[in-house]
């Protein structure tokens, strides 16, 4: 159950006309009163002899207890209470009881005999609206401070009493929701999302990987937003606002939103915190693997995805090992990678990746203060993704995208577990939703590269298949039989053979791929092991088969795999000699 206390107003009759009207799309059916302060309020919805003006006069009578110059300008209190989609349809009597609980809990009518006058109107099966006048019967103002928070707490008790869907309590870190006026405006203009939502997403994308505020503001302008900054007398910038071109108010001026009103972590001080540098944030010297990757003639998008996979895998291994502040920073930086990946990926996966980024946005905020100096490697990876340009969903670019999505799925799952252990229910659920979108995106991205690896696996000689199965049984006996039954088993055998031929120890690679993180959430363990082996061995993710054109900028791989020199019928498994 979701209560929402709306902005206070000054027009009781205007709100009553809305509540008893047909609605924006004629969605209001049978508007009628279900409860009121005295159980006797007139109902213009069911009584043809009563007008909305009659109900307005009754509700506003306490205003006349005050002198005209002492009456509050904003005297209309408005709260909507909505049931969850999977809740049963409640009766009028049940909604009446819920309304009384709400006005008591919020201080509107605490039950002392002199509360505010109020009425509850139902015009749909799943919700009611409560309207009240913010002057008590004794002429005093009600104690309704933080009424929204108090309404949320009462809703949790109502859910328990009525056996309704249990909504996780808010923690004050959520982004501000669009108002009804903003949603109706977007509908009138034919936009799928409100200006506030579009601005929040664009600002987050501009933050992703930015190294300083100059780059951040440049990205905002490059995205087409109108940007204003607030400057102190010293010349330092201390805030910013953004607007969508064409989004105007009644005076035909752009409607600007401060970053802090879009989301708590989009205020300028919180954004600046991401640029923190220190000993831990200094770029590390390239490893031998990095140097080999740099020499490989692959496209910029593929290289950026390889680098992001490396950073994501490293964060996955140590997510919860260095303290909550470090983990929170790594989770937030993971959101930056998702934002950048969604901007630069091919059309088939773009929608799912955008949905994943939008869901994970909620998981990236909690009351744990982030220590961003430990997450600069992930932030650099997000920046590289953005500046590498768009990646086609084929060849090494497409395969590297599938590899990164697979790793991000496990990192999102680990983030959900991290939040759940700390009872961050909303963040944990958001991370799980992001993981579901990543799973769907992976299915699309991996279809071609996995099919090519399966084709390569079909060409393996039987001794090589036997060697791969024996290696799997010897290294990972707990999952061997399940893997051997999966459709991608031969693709995994081909990957093990490629790793061996490239000079790696396949048994050591398998051990590293299976012992650091769980595999229970994987749809296909074979698929997961393939991407981890390709990443750990730094092998090209795309396999070129005969008869297929070679994408420009990638190295041609031989499809004919020679079996490793392993005895095909050895009774005891031995790692083949090189």
The whole-number average pLDDT for the span 75-91 is 93
The whole-number average pLDDT for the span 86-114 is 95
Asked whether the predicted pLDDT for residue 490 surpasses 90, the reply is: yes
Residue 225 near residue 242, CB atoms below 8 Å: yes
The whole-number average pLDDT for the span 483-498 is 94
| Residue 407, pLDDT score | 94
- Least-confidence region, from 65-69, 349-353, 380-384: 65-69
Asked whether the predicted pLDDT for residue 343 surpasses 70, the reply is: yes
Please state the φ and ψ torsions of residue 362, each to the nearest 5 degrees.
Answer: -70, -35
Q: How confident is the model at residue 496 (pLDDT cuts 50, 70, 90)?
A: very high
The whole-number average pLDDT for the span 65-82 is 92
- Least-confidence region, from 100-104, 251-255, 417-421, 491-495: 251-255
- Least-confidence region, from 94-103, 176-185, 440-449: 176-185
| Residue 291, pLDDT score | 43
Q: Which structure tokens are listed for 317? A: 């291994």
| Residue 172, pLDDT score | 77
Q: How confident is the model at residue 553 (pLDDT cuts 50, 70, 90)?
A: very low
Q: How confident is the model at residue 391 (pLDDT cuts 50, 70, 90)?
A: confident
- Least-confidence region, from 49-53, 318-322, 557-561: 557-561
At CB < 8 A and 24+ separation, what contacts does 191-200 make? 195/243, 195/244, 195/247, 195/255, 195/257, 196/257, 196/262, 198/244, 199/225, 199/242, 199/243, 199/244, 199/257, 199/262, 200/175, 200/262, 200/263, 200/266
The whole-number average pLDDT for the span 325-344 is 96
**What digits encode the pLDDT tens for the residues 156-179?**
999 999 999 888 777 778 888 887
The pTM of this model reads: 0.76
The overall average pLDDT reported for the chain is 87
Burial of 425 (0-12, 13-18, 19+ CB in 10 A): middle
The whole-number average pLDDT for the span 87-95 is 95
- In whole angstroms, how large is the CA radius of gyration of the chain? 30
**What digits encode the pLDDT tens for the residues 278-320?**
544 434 434 434 444 444 455 789 999 999 999 999 999 999 8
In the chain, what percentage of residues exceed pLDDT 70?
89
> Residue 458, Cα to own-chain centre: how many angstroms?
39
What Å distances lie between residue 373 and 11, 269, 275, 366, 527, CA to CA? 51, 15, 8, 18, 33
| Residue 284, pLDDT score | 40
Burial of 51 (0-12, 13-18, 19+ CB in 10 A): middle
Q: How confident is the model at residue 25 (pLDDT cuts 50, 70, 90)?
A: low
Beta-sheet strand order (sheet of 2-5): 2-5, 76-82, 127-136, 116-124, 32-36
Structural domains of the chain ordered from first start: 2-162 (3.30.930), 188-275 (no CATH), 288-536 (no CATH)
DSSP 291-335: HHHHHS---HHHHHHHHHHHHHHHHHHHTTTS-HHHHHHHHHHHH
The whole-number average pLDDT for the span 426-447 is 95
The whole-number average pLDDT for the span 133-162 is 93
The whole-number average pLDDT for the span 127-132 is 96
Burial state string for 299-320 with b = 16 or more CB within 10 A and e = fewer than 16: bebbbbbbbbbbbbbebbeebe
User: Which is more confident, 173 or 260?
Assistant: 260
Q: How confident is the model at residue 17 (pLDDT cuts 50, 70, 90)?
A: very high
**What digits encode the pLDDT tens for the residues 185-217?**
888 888 889 999 999 999 999 999 999 999 999
Q: Which structure tokens are listed for 399? A: 């395969």
Q: How confident is the model at residue 516 (pLDDT cuts 50, 70, 90)?
A: low
């Amino acid at each position: 159950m979701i209560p929402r206390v709306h902005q206070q107003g000054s027009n009781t009759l205007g709100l009553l006309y809305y509540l008893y009207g047909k609605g924006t799309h004629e969605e209001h059916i049978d508007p009628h009163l279900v409860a009121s302060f005295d159980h006797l309020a007139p109902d213009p919805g069911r009584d043809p002899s009563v007008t909305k003006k009659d109900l307005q006069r009754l509700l506003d009578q306490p205003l006349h207890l005050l002198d005209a110059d002492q009456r509050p300008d904003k005297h209309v209190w408005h709260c909507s209470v909505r049931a969850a989609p999977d809740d049963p349809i409640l009766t009028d009597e049940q909604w009446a009881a819920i309304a009384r609980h709400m006005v008591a809990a919020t201080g509107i009518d605490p039950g002392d005999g002199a509360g505010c006058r109020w009425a509850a109107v139902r015009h749909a099966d799943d919700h009611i609206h409560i309207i009240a006048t913010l002057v008590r019967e004794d002429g005093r103002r009600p104690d309704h401070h933080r009424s929204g928070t108090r309404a949320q707490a009462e809703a949790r008790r109502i859910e328990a009493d009525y056996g309704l869907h249990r909504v996780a309590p808010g923690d004050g870190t959520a982004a501000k929701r669009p108002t009804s006026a903003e949603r109706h405006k977007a509908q009138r203009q034919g936009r799928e999302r409100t200006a506030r939502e579009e601005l929040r997403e664009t600002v987050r994308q501009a933050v992703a990987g930015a190294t300083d505020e100059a780059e951040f503001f440049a990205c905002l302008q490059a995205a087409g937003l109108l940007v204003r900054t607030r400057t102190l007398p010293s010349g330092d910038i201390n805030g910013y606002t953004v607007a969508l071109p064409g989004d105007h108010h009644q005076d035909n001026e752009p409607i600007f939103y401060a970053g802090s009103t879009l989301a708590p972590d989009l205020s300028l001080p919180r954004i600046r915190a991401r640029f923190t540098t220190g000993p831990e944030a200094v770029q590390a010297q390239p490893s031998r693997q990095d140097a080999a990757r740099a020499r490989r003639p692959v496209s910029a998008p593929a290289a950026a995805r390889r680098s992001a996979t490396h950073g994501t895998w490293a964060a996955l291994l140590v997510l919860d090992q260095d303290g909550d502040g470090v983990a929170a920073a790594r989770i937030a930086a993971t959101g930056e990678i998702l934002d950048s990946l969604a901007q630069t990926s091919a059309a088939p996966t773009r929608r799912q990746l955008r949905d994943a980024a939008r869901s994970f946005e909620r998981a990236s905020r909690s009351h744990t203060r982030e220590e961003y100096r430990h997450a600069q490697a992930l932030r650099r990876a997000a920046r590289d993704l953005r500046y590498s340009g768009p990646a086609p969903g084929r060849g090494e670019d497409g395969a590297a995208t599938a590899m990164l999505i697979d790793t991000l799925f496990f990192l999102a799952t680990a983030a959900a577990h991290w939040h759940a252990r700390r009872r961050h229910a909303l963040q944990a659920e958001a991370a799980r939703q992001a993981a579901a979108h990543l799973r769907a995106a992976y299915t699309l991205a991996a279809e071609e590269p996995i099919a090519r690896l399966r084709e390569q696996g079909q060409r393996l000689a039987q001794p090589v298949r036997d060697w791969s199965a024996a290696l799997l049984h010897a290294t990972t006996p707990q999952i061997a039989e399940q893997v051997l039954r999966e459709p991608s088993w031969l693709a995994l055998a081909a990957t093990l053979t490629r790793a061996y031929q490239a000079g790696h120890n396949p048994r050591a690679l398998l051990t590293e791929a299976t012992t650091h993180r769980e595999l229970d959430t994987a749809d296909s363990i074979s698929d997961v092991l393939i991407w981890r082996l390709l990443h750990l061995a730094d092998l090209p993710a795309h396999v070129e088969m005969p008869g297929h054109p070679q994408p420009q900028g990638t190295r041609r791989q031989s499809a004919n795999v020679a079996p490793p020199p392993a005895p095909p019928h050895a009774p005891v498994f031995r790692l083949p000699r090189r």
